[in-house]
Amino acid sequence: MVTMKSIVALVAGLVLALGTAGAAASNSVLFIGNSFLFGSGSAVRFYRANTVTDLNDEGIGGVPALFKSFTQQAGLDYDVSLETRGGTGLDFHLANKLDVIGKRGWDTVVMHGFSLLDADKPRDPAKLVATTKQMADVLRAKNPKVAIYTMATWARADHVYQAKGAWTGQSVDVMARDIRAAYDQAAGPAGIKAVIPVGDAWQRAMQSGVADSNPYDGIEAGKLNLWTYDAYHASTHGYYLEALVIFGSVTGRDPRSLGDSECSGFELGLSRTEVKALQQVAFDQLGSAVTAAPLITPKPVPAARCGVGR
C-alpha cells in the first residue's frame, strides 16, 4: 500500500538525485599558466576573483574569471579553477605544483608555457614539447577523458623592437608564427584536443586595423594597444581578446553571441565599439571551430545586470 510517507520519501529521493545530477553536470575547467593567464599589468588580474578557485590562494581572477563570466552569460555551467605562477613554463608546474593540480580529475584543462618557449634557450621549442607531453600524462592519469587545450601565446613587442630581444630585427608576425609552430609541434605527441590561437588572434587584430602593431612608436589613432605598459604583458584589451578566443575554443560558441553590451567589457571600461571589434576578431580567427551565431539585436547593459554572482 502506497502511503503519504512513502510518497514524500520518493519525492525527496528524486529531488536529491536531480540535485546531484545537476552538480555532476558542471564541467570542471583548470587553467595552468603564468602572468599571461592571471592578467599581470591590468585590471583583469583580480577581476571577479570570487567566481573562480585560485588553487594557490593568491586571490587571482584573471582570464579564467573572464571566461567564467562569458560562460555564465551564455547560460553555461563551468566550475573554473586556476593554477598560475608568473615567469614560468610548464616545467615549473610539473616540478612544484602537482600536489594541487592532481587533487582531482579535471574535465577540461587549458594550459600554456613560457612566452619565449624556453627561459634559458629562447625560441627553442624542445622544452615546451617535452613538458606538454609530461603534463598531459599527469592529467590523464587522473581522468583519461580530460580534454586538454594548449594556448599559443602572443608575440612580445619588447623582444621584437628592443635591441636585445630574442626576435630583434624581425617582426611580431614572425614571432607569433614561431610560437604557434612550437605549440603545433607539441600538440601531436601530447594528444592535445586543440591549440587555442590567441597569438594568431592578436596578429589578426593588428592586420585588420583593430590594434596597433608597434607600441614603441606611438599608438595610431583609432587603434587599440593589446600590450600593457611593458610591451610584454597584455592590456585589458589584450586579455579580453584572449578570453574571447578561449571561450570560443572551449565552448564552441560564437564570441559575437555575447553581444557588444557584454557584462565584463562594460565592467572593465571597454566601449561597445571596442567589445564588438574584439568579438569579431575572435570569431574570424576561430572560423569553423565555432558555430556562427551573432547576436542580432544587442541591448544596452543595465548596471544591475552585471553584478557578481548574477
pTM (whole model) above 0.85 = yes
What is the distance between the alpha carbons of residues 270 and 238, in angstroms, rounded to a whole number?
11
* Count of the separate structural domains present in the chain: 1
pLDDT at 185: 98
306 in a structural domain:
no
14 part of a folded domain: no
9 located within any domain:
no
If we measure between CA atoms, which residue out of 243, 270, 200 comes closest to residue 63?
243
Residue 16 inside a domain? The answer is no
195, β-bridge pairs: 150
User: Which parts of the chain sit beneath pLDDT 50?
Assistant: 1-25, 296-301, 303, 308-310
In a domain, 11, yes or no: no
CATH number, domain of 34, equals 3.40.50.1110
Structural domain includes residue 109 = yes
Q: What is the domain extent for residue 180?
A: 26-301
The pLDDT score that the predictor gives to residue 6 is: 44
Between the two ends of the chain, the Cα-to-Cα distance in Å is 46
Q: Residue 173: in which H helix or E strand, if any?
A: helix 172-190
> Taking the C-alpha atoms of 109, 35, 167 and 128 in order, what is their torsion angle to the nearest 10 degrees?
-30
Task: Look at residue 308 and tell me if it is in a domain.
Answer: no
Is residue 157 within 8 A of residue 232, CB to CB? The reply is yes
CB atoms within 10 A of CB 104: 12
Task: Examine residue 195 and state whether it is found in any structural domain, yes or no.
Answer: yes
